[in-house]
Amino acid sequence: MSLLRITDLTVGFDTDDGLVQAVKGISLELAEGEILALCGESGCGKSVTAMSVPRLLPPETTRLSGSIELDGRELTELPESQLRRIRGKDVSVVFQEPMTSLNPSFTVGYQIAEVLRRHEGLSRRAARDRAVELLELVGIPLPARRVKEYPHQLSGGMRQRVMIAIAVACSPRVLIADEPTTALDVTIQAGVLDVFRDLRDRLGTAVILITHDLGVVADIADRAVVMYAGRAVEQAPVDELFARPRHPYTLGLMRALPSAAVNGRLAEIPGLVPSPLSDPDECAFHARCPRAQADCVLKRPELVRQADEHLAACFHPGGPS
Amino acid sequence: MVWFILRRAGSAVIVLFLASVLIFLGIRALPGDPAVVMAGEDASPSLIEAIRRDYGLDKPLPAQYVDYLGQTLSGNLGRSTQDQLPVAGILAERLPVTLELSALALLVAIVVGVGAGIVAAVRRDRLPDYVATGFGLAGLSIPHFWLGLLGILLFAVTLRWLPASGYVPFTQDPGQNLQRMILPALVLGTGFAAILMRQTRSAMLGALSADYVRTARSKGLAEVKVVGAHALRNSLTTVVTVLGLQLGALISGAVVTEQIFVIPGFGKLTVDAVLTRNYPVIQAVVLITVIGYVLVNLLVDIAYAFLNPRIRLSGSGHD
């Protein structure tokens, strides 16, 4: 049985321009110890999908439907008070911005200890000791000294490691990492990814890794879901996805990688993402798609099995051309 | 932290020294010869000369300043020209009255202003926010004297809950004292509370949308902790700044409020001294006001350092 099962999740936001649909019926599963990458460009709904799990979206304006089950327990119907027992304990989050995601007014030790005292009921002293161990676990040198320091005294990479220490403090079942390496130098990126791998191996933590960086996906993920305009367009084990991408959008993303550049020029995907305000019954990618044909605008392609464990939502799927 | 406080205290002493020079020179720059004034009209030149010698007015200015500084430091602020009482004694009598009024007004302002600001930010664009911002606008627009008169009319004349004016020392009868101070403190604190409310509200709105607040929520912390610890702690810098800036306005507000409620405080003393050209008293009042400002600023700086580790740790050889 899968650890996390999201079924037909739809998330919209009330805005002055009307209801904006960010996620339009996505389903995915996450097994224990699995690293699942959610990829796609900005605004494709990958962060919103992941943040729906611990319900960290503004409650006044968010319209959510569908099902999110953690260990068979339905999260969407839980009251806020019970969700708070899950946040930081069973499901924790590493945010994208390491420079601003820590509170500048508290020591990093306090900020780590806080989550331990909340969920594990540790005493102040025990939590402080555990915070030092966690800093060591995420690879921060001189943890006994760093624990007393404030975020502004640490570099971006170290702050991101502190964020990870907070997120893994209570040995979560699911760790959501939202672009955890985007703001970091390449050399530090690799170190942070190693921390995730290490946690998965040691604690069996399942990771949802949100990224637009296919290099990161190839490096660490077991399976990937490619999202476009609020829907999953392709889903496959990473090796299979990179070997035989089926959806033209996935192909476009791969061609836009610097390593795939032809004559020093990156291949771009022409056109723009469709407006999230309207959602006609057609393939959302057709206007930008090199393989688009007449049937692409008649009906929206469903996610269908292309090969074992490989799903794509396209009427004209194929390998690299 | 200790070094930081010592450094700030050192610069405060320098400011006080410069202020004392300015006060000293300012009095000397006023038209008229004090010896002539003291001797009275039709005095003989030899008498004026004697007075000048007695009071050291024949010495060069730097020497006069040293005398003035020595006397001030030893607590001798001269005598009031009105009743020949020592100025230090008058201040010792009047200052506590104003300090009590200001402290009570400050308490009203902080409790009401910061509290309403937090509630308004958390319940943004809902009824509590509209009520708080509405009262904030009113509190900001209504002048002290009008609010004071209105308060007297309602609570003293119509409802007869409180006495209209007057003052009873706290040491003599605490109950009576508070009964007479509560209305002036509310009047003086209202405008201040309105300003604090608006600043707290906007600082809290900023803090509540910050990434670290989202992090706090993602830890599963209760909303009380998210708002009260994570967001508020980072808003307090703004609150303290406004507090420091507005304490000056509190002093001028006290002058008006004490006039309305006939409270024998520092503000009333200042007005009376100016009206009677009582130079020694004016000089002392200005000096005390300067000391007040410098102390408040020192406290604000220390509060900043306490609230903001980036200030506290700068210059400690770290980072």
Q: Which two tokens stand for residue B62?
A: 């730097």
B141-153 pLDDT tens trace: 988 889 988 988 8
3-state secondary structure chain A: CCCEEEEEEEEEEEECCEEEEEEEEEEEEECCCCEEEEECCCCCCHHHHHHCCCCCCCCCCEEEEEEEEECCEECCCCCHHHHHHHECCCEEEECCCCCCCCCCCCCHHHHHHHHHHHHCCCCHHHHHHHHHHHHHHCCCCCHHHHCCCCHHHCCHHHHHHHHHHHHHCCCCCEEEEECCCCCCCHHHHHHHHHHHHHHHHHHCCEEEEEECCHHHHHHHCCEEEEEECCEEEEEEEHHHHHHCCCCHHHHHHHHCCHHHCECCECCCCCCCCCCCCCCCCCCCCHHHCCCCCHHHHCCCCCCEEEECCEEECCCCCCCCC
Q: Which residues of A touch B316 (CB under 8 A)?
A: none
Q: State yes or no: pLDDT of A321 exceeds 50.
A: no
Chain B residue closest in CA terms to A96: B211
Coil, strand, or helix at residue B255? helix
A277-292 pLDDT tens trace: 778 889 999 989 988 8
Answer whether B31 touches A (CB < 8 Å). no
Contact B240, B303 (CB under 8 A): yes
Give the residue-averaged pLDDT of B115-129. Answer: 94
Name the band, by pLDDT with cuts 50, 70 and 90, for residue B1.
confident
Name the band, by pLDDT with cuts 50, 70 and 90, for residue A102.
very high
Following DSSP, what letter does each residue of B66-82 receive, concatenated? HHHHHHHHTT---B-TT
What is the model's pLDDT at position A1?
A: 65
Chain B: closest CA distance from residue A93 (Å): 6
Contact B144, B187 (CB under 8 A): yes
Q: State yes or no: pLDDT of A258 exceeds 70.
A: yes
Q: State yes or no: pLDDT of B34 exceeds 80.
A: no
In whole angstroms, what is the distance from residue A320 CA to residue A255 CA? 10
Name the band, by pLDDT with cuts 50, 70 and 90, for residue B314.
low
Left, alpha or beta for B275 (phi > 0: left; psi -120 to 50: alpha)? alpha
Q: Which residues of B touch A83 (CB under 8 A)?
A: 220
What is the model's pLDDT at position A232?
A: 94
Q: Which residues of A touch B1 (CB under 8 A)?
A: none
CB atoms within 10 A of CB A6: 24
Give the residue-averaged pLDDT of A130-142. Answer: 92
Exposure pattern of A121-159 as b/e (b: 16+ CB <10 Å)?
ebeeeebbbbbbebbbbbbbeebeebbebbbebbeebbb
Contact A225, A250 (CB under 8 A): no
Name the band, by pLDDT with cuts 50, 70 and 90, for residue A111.
very high
Give the position of tokens 């967001």: B231
What is the model's pLDDT at position B29?
A: 80
| Identity of the highest mean pLDDT range in A192-206, A256-270, B63-77, B116-130 | B116-130
In whole angstroms, what is the distance from residue A21 CA to residue A10 CA? 8
Chain A residue closest in CA terms to B222: A84
Chain B: closest CA distance from residue A84 (Å): 4
What is the model's pLDDT at position B175?
A: 87
Give Cα separations from A299 to A226, A278, A286, A314 (angstroms). 20, 15, 11, 11
Most B-contacting residue of A52, A101, A164, A168 (CB-CB within 10 A), to test interface: A101
Name the band, by pLDDT with cuts 50, 70 and 90, for residue B108.
very high
Chain B residue closest in CA terms to A92: B218
- pLDDT averaged over chain A? 90
What is the edge-to-edge ordering of all strands in the sheet holding A174-178?
A91-94, A174-178, A206-211, A35-39, A223-228, A231-237, A310-312, A304-307
Whether A105 sits inside 8 A of B308 (CB atoms) is yes
Give Cα separations from A29 to A26, A208, B36 (angstroms). 10, 10, 98
Q: Which residues of B touch A114 (CB under 8 A)?
A: 219, 221
Which residues lie closer than 8 Å to B203 by C-beta, 6 or more apart?
Answer: B117, B234, B235, B237, B238, B239
CB atoms within 10 A of CB A22: 22
CB atoms within 10 A of CB A37: 26
Most A-contacting residue of B129, B218, B310, B311 (CB-CB within 10 A), to test interface: B218
What is the model's pLDDT at position A139?
A: 86
Give the residue-averaged pLDDT of A151-179. Answer: 92
Chain B residue closest in CA terms to A86: B220
Chain B: closest CA distance from residue A275 (Å): 26
Q: What is the DSSP letter of B169?
A: -
What is the model's pLDDT at position B122?
A: 94
Coil, strand, or helix at residue B42? coil
Interface of B with A in 87-146 (CB under 8 A): none
Coil, strand, or helix at residue B317? coil
- pLDDT averaged over chain B? 87
Whether A102 sits inside 8 A of B212 (CB atoms) is yes
In whole angstroms, what is the distance from residue B242 CA to residue B240 CA? 5
Give the position of tokens 């200790």: B2
Name the band, by pLDDT with cuts 50, 70 and 90, for residue B61.
confident
What is the model's pLDDT at position B319?
A: 37
CB atoms within 10 A of CB A212: 17
Give the residue-averaged pLDDT of B236-249. Answer: 86
Q: Which two tokens stand for residue B319?
A: 């980072």
Q: Which residues of A touch B205 (CB under 8 A)?
A: none
Whether A150 sits inside 8 A of B313 (CB atoms) is yes
Q: Which of B29, B26, B37 is nearest to B276 (CA)?
A: B37
Name the band, by pLDDT with cuts 50, 70 and 90, for residue A192.
confident
Give Cα separations from A84 to A35, A68, A118, B84, B226 (angstroms). 24, 16, 10, 71, 12
Whether A101 sits inside 8 A of B212 (CB atoms) is yes
What are the residue ranges spanned by the domains of chain B?
A: 2-59, 88-313
Q: State yes or no: pLDDT of B27 exceeds 80.
A: no
Q: Nearest-5° angle of CA B147, CA B148, CA B151?
A: 85
Q: What is the DSSP letter of B56?
A: T
Asked whether the whole model's pTM tops 0.90, one would answer: no
Q: Which residues of B touch A87 (CB under 8 A)?
A: 217-220
What is the model's pLDDT at position B85?
A: 87
What is the model's pLDDT at position B217?
A: 95
Coil, strand, or helix at residue B1? coil
The ipTM is 0.88
Q: Which residues of B touch A54 (CB under 8 A)?
A: 218
Whether A95 sits inside 8 A of B211 (CB atoms) is yes
What is the model's pLDDT at position A231?
A: 93
Exposure pattern of B80-101 as b/e (b: 16+ CB <10 Å)?
bbeeeeebbebbeebbebbebb
Q: Which two tokens stand for residue B197?
A: 């409310």
Q: State yes or no: pLDDT of B318 exceeds 70.
A: no
What is the model's pLDDT at position B67?
A: 86
Name the band, by pLDDT with cuts 50, 70 and 90, for residue B164.
confident
Q: Which residues of A touch B221 (CB under 8 A)?
A: 84, 88, 114, 118
Q: Which of A237, A243, A240 is nearest to A225 (CA)?
A: A237
What is the model's pLDDT at position B317?
A: 40
What are the residue ranges spanned by the domains of chain A?
A: 222-321
A64-96 pLDDT tens trace: 999 999 999 999 999 999 999 999 999 999 998
Length of chain A: 321
What is the model's pLDDT at position B232?
A: 95
Whether A92 sits inside 8 A of B218 (CB atoms) is yes
Most A-contacting residue of B124, B212, B238, B308 (CB-CB within 10 A), to test interface: B212
Coil, strand, or helix at residue B86? strand
Nearest to B218 among A93, A97, A102 (CB): A93
Q: State yes or no: pLDDT of B316 exceeds 50.
A: no
Name the band, by pLDDT with cuts 50, 70 and 90, for residue B171.
confident
Chain A residue closest in CA terms to B230: A103
Domain B88-313's class?
mainly alpha
In whole angstroms, what is the distance from residue B43 CA to residue A181 CA? 89
Hey, what amino acid is at A299? Answer: K
Give the residue-averaged pLDDT of B110-119. Answer: 95
Coil, strand, or helix at residue B57? coil
What is the model's pLDDT at position B279?
A: 78
Whether B233 sits inside 8 A of A102 (CB atoms) is no
Which residues lie closer than 8 Å to B127 by C-beta, 6 or more apart?
Answer: none
What is the model's pLDDT at position A319?
A: 60
What is the model's pLDDT at position B76?
A: 85
Chain B residue closest in CA terms to A53: B218
Nearest to A118 among B214, B215, B220 (CB): B220
Contact A39, A253 (CB under 8 A): yes
B210-240 pLDDT tens trace: 999 999 999 999 999 999 999 999 999 889 8
Name the band, by pLDDT with cuts 50, 70 and 90, for residue B163.
confident
